[in-house]
């Protein structure tokens, strides 16, 4: 198959198509996650969960009851509800900012994914090419820079609502997101110190991180979660806080702040916040997996290229670049979904921290830990390369 016609298209058309692809991929996954959340919470709590909805026209299809029991159609019903129900704007809100907030929440959530590589394939020259919208050198920096803009949407929503609960939620959110960003950034520095050690590549690209974890040999093929477990742990905890998930869901803790920053929102605007939260979760999990869990490599010490080469002996089409790309994406998405399952598992198991405890953990425990971690690895790497 020849895809060269695609590269002959004008740049703006290509970019538009790529942008659309992002939305078309992220939105359904985020929506499916909201469904999964309901189903998984139901299974954790010993109840069936949504299992009734089915479009009447489809009810005759044999075997479709499996999808019905899994609540797949509930997803469409939910989405349709958000679009069609009344979209109230309470009196006394600052209308411009009130409407701008959910849109602002979506922008960083969708744009960070552009620098996340989803897989890789071998081109005709035998060179590994990442499947990514923008394989920029500053990859991770771009993720951090853009995703931290998400806090503006939360503050704006809290402030523009002209209501006290959203206001408190917005204040909490701003403090929390800023505190945990620090430890999150510090926790990934050892990874890049390791990669960029004297004689290294000098990059922040996420693709290169995965490449680094795909090298031959015992230390080359080890995922960073084995070599830097503390970094991975700090990153994971900070990720929970950054994505406002329980036990750190201070900005929206429903037992004391009703709905937090989105108390006054309804219908489609509320669902935009919701989808943005899930997009953050997906991108956050993706980055976590790229950094610490080997990206699209199926197992530690087993790289994607190796496994495709092994498969090529059995399956004739496995040598095709498309197969390798698809396999890589499938493995990567599988890991992301498991990570999201982990998020949900934690949410439905643990109680919620108090606001001051969240700040204590962020500043007094996680930050010193990540600094110590950084110093230890810096010294270790310096000694190794001496």
Partner 1 sequence: MATEYAFPDNAAKTDAAAQEFQTEKMSLAMGPSHPSTHGVLRLQLELDGEIVTHCDPILGYLHRGDEKIAENMTYNQFVPYTDRLDYLAPLANNVAYAIAVEKLANLKVPARCEAIRVICCELARISAHLLGLGAYGIDVGAWSVFLYSFEEREKLYKLFEELTGARFTTSYTRIGGVARDVPEGWNDRVGKFCDQFLPILEEILNLLTRNKIFTDRTQGVGIISREDAIGYGLTGPNLRGSGVAFDLRKDKPYSGYKQYEFDIPVGTTGDCYDRYLCRGEEMRQSVRIVRQVLKNFPSGAYYAEDAKKIFAPRKDKVLTSMEELINNFMITTEGPQMPAGEVYFEAENPKGALGFFIVSKGGGVPYRLKIRSPSFCNLSILPKVCQGALVSDVVSILGSLDFVMGECDR
Q: By the criterion CB under 8 A, which residues form the site for partner 1?
A: 41, 44-47, 164-165, 168, 246-247, 249, 253-258, 348-357
Token code pair at residue 159: 């402030």
Minimum CB separation of residue 189 from partner 1 in Å reads 28
Minimum CB separation of residue 166 from partner 1 in Å reads 12
Torsional class of 136: left (φ above 0), alpha (ψ -120 to 50), beta (otherwise): beta
Backbone angles phi, psi at 343, to 5 degrees: -55, -45
Burial label for 223, CB within 10 Å (0-12, 13-18, 19+), is: buried
Task: Please state, in angstroms and rounded to a whole number, the distance separating the CA atoms of residues 237 and 226.
Answer: 17
* For partner 1, the closer CB: 160 or 250: 250
* For partner 1, the closer CB: 318 or 346: 346
* For partner 1, the closer CB: 333 or 344: 344
Minimum CB separation of residue 170 from partner 1 in Å reads 13
Token code pair at residue 336: 């992301």
* For partner 1, the closer CB: 26 or 257: 257
* For partner 1, the closer CB: 64 or 175: 175
User: Do 36 and 344 form a contact (C-beta atoms < 8 A)?
Assistant: yes
Minimum CB separation of residue 49 from partner 1 in Å reads 11
Minimum CB separation of residue 168 from partner 1 in Å reads 7
Token code pair at residue 178: 């800023």
C-alpha angle 241-282-69 in degrees, rounded to nearest 5: 110
Beta bridge partners of 302: 299
């Amino acid at each position: 198959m020849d895809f060269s016609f695609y590269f002959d298209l004008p740049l703006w058309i290509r970019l538009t198509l790529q942008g659309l692809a992002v939305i078309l991929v992220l939105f359904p996954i985020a929506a499916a996650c909201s469904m999964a959340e309901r189903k998984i919470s139901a299974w954790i709590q010993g109840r069936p969960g949504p299992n009734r909805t089915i479009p009447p026209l489809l009810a005759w299809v044999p075997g479709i009851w499996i999808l019905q029991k899994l609540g797949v159609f509930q997803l469409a019903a939910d989405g349709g509800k958000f679009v069609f129900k009344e979209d109230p704007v309470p009196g006394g809100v600052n209308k411009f900012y009130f409407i701008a907030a959910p849109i602002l929440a979506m922008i960083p959530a969708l744009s960070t994914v552009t620098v996340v590589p989803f897989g890789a394939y071998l081109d005709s020259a035998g060179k590994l090419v990442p499947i990514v919208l923008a394989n920029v050198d500053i990859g991770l920096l771009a993720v951090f820079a853009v995703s931290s803009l998400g806090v503006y949407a939360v503050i704006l929503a809290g402030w523009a609502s002209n209501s006290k609960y959203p206001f408190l939620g917005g204040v909490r959110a701003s403090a929390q997101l800023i505190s945990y960003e620090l430890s999150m950034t510090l926790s990934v520095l050892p990874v890049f110190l390791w990669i960029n050690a004297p004689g290294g590549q000098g990059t922040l690209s996420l693709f290169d991180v995965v490449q680094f974890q795909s090298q031959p040999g015992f230390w080359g093929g080890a995922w960073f979660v084995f070599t830097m477990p503390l970094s991975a742990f700090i990153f994971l905890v900070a990720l929970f806080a950054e994505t406002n998930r329980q036990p750190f869901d201070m900005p929206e803790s429903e037992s004391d702040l009703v709905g937090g920053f989105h108390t006054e929102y309804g219908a489609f605007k509320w669902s935009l916040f919701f989808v943005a939260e899930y997009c953050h979760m997906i991108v956050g999990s993706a980055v976590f997996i790229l950094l610490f869990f080997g990206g699209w490599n199926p197992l530690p010490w087993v790289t994607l290229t190796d496994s495709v080469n092994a498969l090529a002996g059995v399956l004739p089409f496995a040598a095709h670049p498309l197969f390798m790309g698809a396999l890589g994406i499938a493995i990567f998405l599988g890991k992301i979904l498991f990570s999201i399952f982990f998020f949900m598992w934690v949410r439905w198991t643990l109680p919620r921290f108090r606001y001051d405890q969240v700040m204590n953990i962020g500043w007094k425990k996680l930050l010193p830990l990540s600094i110590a971690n950084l110093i230890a690895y810096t010294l270790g790497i310096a000694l190794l390369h001496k």
